[in-house]
Chains A and B, each alone.
Chain A
């Protein structure tokens, strides 16, 4: 029997997750003496005792660690024996810089849920129960360091029993900053639409549940902001919510009481189940079963075979679904594209015309956080909207050699806005901020940027933005005192995917999305980029162009995009085509013909997203659309109804070292099939198959082993998986997004990684953009 002493340094997400109490309990369990302490890099441990027990400690540590902790590095070093008694939690060295990691908000853990359902527990049915493993974090932090005084909980002095838990290293609530109980913590209240209080505490919860059961709309102050709740089975209530929210089509998210009821309505994989039950509690897009119609009103997800489903993300949600025992619509409490409301008074003011009742509480939310959205694709979870549960966890990428690089700011894009701070080899991204064209979102953008600077004590020296001249974010960036750097949109998409995978070597990027500006004043979005792994990104291929008559107006009306596509394919012949004749009034036909022939008010695009829109219209799947992505989704859903392996021809044309991927034969095939009466589903599927083959054709010629798929088009599961399969069959290694969205929510990360790699961008397509009067 030998006594040993070991020093252990652990890096990763180990602070604020109950790691020290866990180490304390484990060490005592193993009869070891020593200490544990936080430091700026993570956690330091010294243990001393019998060799066998030390090895037991090391074996159990990664297995039994708190579920939200992640261990990125663990190094051990033998130390000389010390004279000491017992194991202690050492006070953090207050002079050391705090590790700038703020945790996201996490769903209640099983221990907390058990307490809440125990009538003898002092937290029985208390909606703000939490511990070091669960509860609010980012939503309540005002400043760093993450101490109670710097959170919304500073308004609630701890009662004696809570204080004891908070100070006891053996307790689950040791230094759980948001710790609270019915005696000292936040409380519920129910108000009517004018803000008049109707009930408090348990009665507020009961009355809110009854109101929902009766078909009323209740605005709930959730973790990161307000949600609007209605009974998902009640068609009239859902219709009223859609009408009041002016949201005619877009799918509404659902809150289910438990995993069993989700499985009754949806087909779910093991991965999807794990996502639903994860402490981040995102909305997971799931394939609905036909039988779901019995419990879910059609109006929840019209023309959509998927449902957006989440499980209770907080104790309050848990109590509410326990009371109602049915799925609820739980959509963001906002006005159209504005950020969600997160302040009581503001919510009553802005949502007063939508909600009948407000279930409020007095724990302040420091910043709005939408519910996150994920979807399983290609065997992994893909983030579609990154907010509650994930923000503000940094995304790390390979360090660049040389001097410690300076901090800078990246402002992302204008839609699905996310900004980020580059520090060292990590990107600290904001939560999803919405679309910047409304005032509230713009204010939130500015607030989030100063939030980044304040929380992380950063003084960024430069600011990176998209090159689009009309982006609000880019214009904001140009007005700042810092140096301005512009990054092309699709280059940023490519690098966001490279960054996620820590890829530094040469690669091909397939960047397909809706609209990205390029310096030749073309709207791009069907692009192929090569990164030489060293200095240069080059634009090696792209879809052939077509006009969008009416610009953004065409994007709202996909039939016009189809008209642009037809004109690019058939010239004047387009105006004689059946589709053109059938879909536009004579005056509109004439106007469109003039616009297309003269090229006026018809910006040219090379966008795969717009190609999807045009095809949606050609297939007769949509008229006008009320949200971005609606038309493309319709094509994806139609294609799911067919398993044809047919595809259409296309052409790949060499233009110097640039390759033009010509969709004209594809369009001709689609039209010909239409004339022959081939069903839309089969044509939609053949369209998907063709796109996958187009990617494959370029990949073969590019000859890069590693291929990265990025851009909003890769939110399409069928296309992503078809393309990945086809490419892998030929030995390509295909990488998709996972932790940041393929859509513009990933742009800030890409801007950061592109700059950190010191890369430059060269376009091989038509250049010579020059500013003239």
Chain B
């Protein structure tokens, strides 16, 4: 427990496990706050907290999640991610080895993404008062464009692009947590999304809105955007990619993959005449190589998300009111 009290132990923790991965000019200052150079243009600032059980899952771990989650939040306003802070809440008894692995992974994720971890904090809570490790990150990014990327810019006719298959993160975590085995690999999609977003903007695509799909999955994200924009979205079920292992796992647990969490997928709303170009750009980035156009924004002002299946039946997507309880009578 002594590790959080600010004494010698705490110093050791920082020195041995944390600083090595915060390898840059600012952390070397070892002050309470980081002093950053002036950032040109508009600045974007966001924060997010990460709790996940288990800490390590197929395709990622909580450290990567904490970096990519905040990077993705910055990316969704079209910002180039620059700096991150990192706050750790450790539960007493967390193996140092685990902490080291998470921090190493955070360091690599930051380096790969080109963001710098510039400030941080560590607290330790008593055993039983935390779930091993919680991480909070905050992020700063800069806007290098003049667009406003927001739900109210969604226009009738806009093409809705989805950056890849869905449902992998939620199912990978769930399967690992519960010890369930499914046919085929079930890897989290956990990944940074700034690269395809910046590529769209650099190519001059008039991006109307972006949203990363996290908890609640594709359906919840689109329902929120439909409500936020007072627009109706029409989706084609056939164009929404879901891998066999995800489908199999969802069928086993009785879950709808449209509502399962993702950590490396986003939707983009772009004008119809730029849809093909935008799609080609997205498909060039590895993280969004499987991008597809999945639907369009209709002229109707009903805030609805309509999913059309292969035989033409239409389903209205709603928020989930809680757990998925059977309604069949």
Identify the A interface with B (CB < 8 A).
Answer: 246, 335-338, 350, 353, 413-416, 437-440, 442, 468-472, 475, 489, 513-517, 521, 523, 525, 548, 550-555, 587-588, 590-591, 594-595, 598, 600-601, 603, 605, 609, 628, 712, 743-744
Contact = CB atoms under 8 A, between A and B. Distances in A.
Given A551-B254, A553-B253, A515 B178 contact: no
B179 interface: yes
B109 to A, nearest CB: 30
A594 B328 contact: no
B237 to A, nearest CB: 12
B312 A335 contact: yes
B329 A413 contact: yes
Contacts of A548: 326
Contacts, number: 115
B1 interface: no
B127 interface: no
26 contacts: A246-B311, A336-B311, A336-B313, A437-B315, A437-B327, A439-B315, A470-B327, A514-B329, A515-B328, A516-B329, A521-B325, A548-B326, A550-B251, A550-B253, A551-B254, A553-B254, A554-B254, A555-B326, A591-B180, A594-B180, A595-B253, A600-B253, A601-B253, A601-B255, A609-B329, A712-B329
Given A468-B325, A470-B322, 16 more contacts: A350-B312, A437-B327, A438-B314, A440-B314, A442-B316, A469-B322, A470-B321, A525-B329, A550-B251, A550-B253, A552-B326, A553-B254, A590-B180, A590-B181, A595-B253, A744-B329
Nearest to B310: A246
B180 to A, nearest CB: 5
B23 interface: no
A394 B326 CA distance: 31
B314 A439 contact: yes
Nearest to B304: A439
Contact of B178 (A338, A587, A594, A605): A594
A587 B181 contact: yes
A468 B183 contact: no
Given A553-B251, A553-B254, A601-B254, A415 B324 contact: no
Nearest to B252: A591
| B-side interface size class | 20 to 34
Contacts of A743: 329
A551 B326 contact: yes
Nearest to A413: B329
Nearest to A554: B254
B324 A551 contact: yes
A552 B327 contact: yes
A600 B324 CA distance: 12
Contacts of A712: 329
Nearest to A600: B178
B202 to A, nearest CB: 39
Contacts of A439: 304, 306, 314-316
A773 B131 CA distance: 17
A163 to B, nearest CB: 44
Nearest to A349: B312
A523 B182 CA distance: 28
Nearest to A601: B253
B236 to A, nearest CB: 14
A511 B251 CA distance: 30
A219 to B, nearest CB: 15
B318 interface: yes
Contacts of A470: 320-322, 324-325, 327
Determine the main DSSP class of B at the interface with A.
Answer: loop
B311 A591 contact: no
Contact of A515 (B252, B313, B323, B327): B327
A720 to B, nearest CB: 17
A548 B322 CA distance: 18
Nearest to A525: B329
A588 B252 contact: yes
Considering the complex of A and B, which 8 residue pairs feature the smallest CB-CB distances, nearest first? A551-B254, A553-B254, A550-B254, A439-B314, A514-B329, A601-B253, A552-B326, A439-B316
Contacts of A588: 252
A603 B327 CA distance: 12
Contact of A591 (B181, B306, B323): B181
A628 B306 CA distance: 24
Nearest to A513: B329
A555 to B, nearest CB: 5
A353 B329 contact: no
B327 A475 contact: no
B313 A471 contact: no
B247 to A, nearest CB: 11
A472 B318 CA distance: 9
Contacts of B180: 590-591, 594-595
Nearest to A245: B311
Nearest to A744: B329
A414 B326 contact: no
Interface in B278-329: 304, 306, 311-316, 318, 320-329
A441 B318 CA distance: 15
Contacts of A605: 326
B128 to A, nearest CB: 18
Interface centre among B181, B253, B255 (most CB of A within 10 A): B253
A594 B324 contact: no
A437 B315 CA distance: 6
Contacts of A415: 327-329
A439 B318 CA distance: 11
A3 B94 CA distance: 107
A246 B320 CA distance: 27
A642 B327 CA distance: 33
Nearest to A712: B329
Contact of B326 (A489, A523, A587): A523
Nearest to A471: B327
A468 B327 contact: yes
A414 B311 CA distance: 22
Nearest to A514: B329
Contact of B325 (A523, A525, A595): A523
A354 B135 CA distance: 55
A475 B319 CA distance: 11
Contacts of A516: 329
B274 to A, nearest CB: 29
A305 to B, nearest CB: 24
A551 B314 CA distance: 23
B326 A515 contact: yes
Given A587-B183, A594-B178, A550 B252 contact: yes
Contact of B329 (A246, A437, A515): A515
A603 B326 contact: yes
B181 A438 contact: no
B194 to A, nearest CB: 33
Nearest to B316: A439
Interface centre among B179, B304, B311 (most CB of A within 10 A): B311
B311 A353 contact: yes
Contact of A414 (B253, B304, B327): B327
